[in-house]
Amino acid sequence: MRERSRPRVAAQPVRWAADAVAMMREGARVRLDYSARSLWRVDRMIEEIRREGAPYAAVESELRGFGAYAGEVIVRQTGAEWWATGGEHWLRTPDGRLWDPVDEARRCFGGHGSLRLLCRDAVNGAPR
């Protein structure tokens, strides 16, 4: 079966997600497999970074990578597509809803979000 081509806008978030996977594997010795269950580990890692008191500016690119990783999990689970406007990347699931996993990663860092729950809601079709 031939894999469907992905929109060009997906190239950046796909790369950010791959960077997050490599960072977790090499730095934290944690393997991420693009499963919904793996997002529990990502939420936990963001929480640890926040508890250590890292300034946002120091972890901004890592958070972007974690959000892109969560987005790729949603893409694989639902068939969502990446879209971009004004430099921001977000997802549109097949049911027409919009999701912003990169912003959700920022919310996690602030103690108010969860990539695991965002994925669950996107997969189950719940509004967020």
**CB of 113 closer than 8 Å to CB of 102:** no
For residue 3, the model assigns a pLDDT of 45
Per-10-residue mean pLDDT of the chain, 128 residues long, equals 59 94 90 96 95 95 97 96 91 95 97 96 77
Q: Render the burial of 54-67: b for 16+ CB within 10 Å, e for the rest.
A: eeeeebeebbbbbb
Whole-angstrom CA distances from 99 to 13, 29, 49, 54, 127 are 14, 29, 24, 26, 10
For residue 9, the model assigns a pLDDT of 78
**CB of 109 closer than 8 Å to CB of 59:** yes
For residue 86, the model assigns a pLDDT of 85
For residue 82, the model assigns a pLDDT of 95
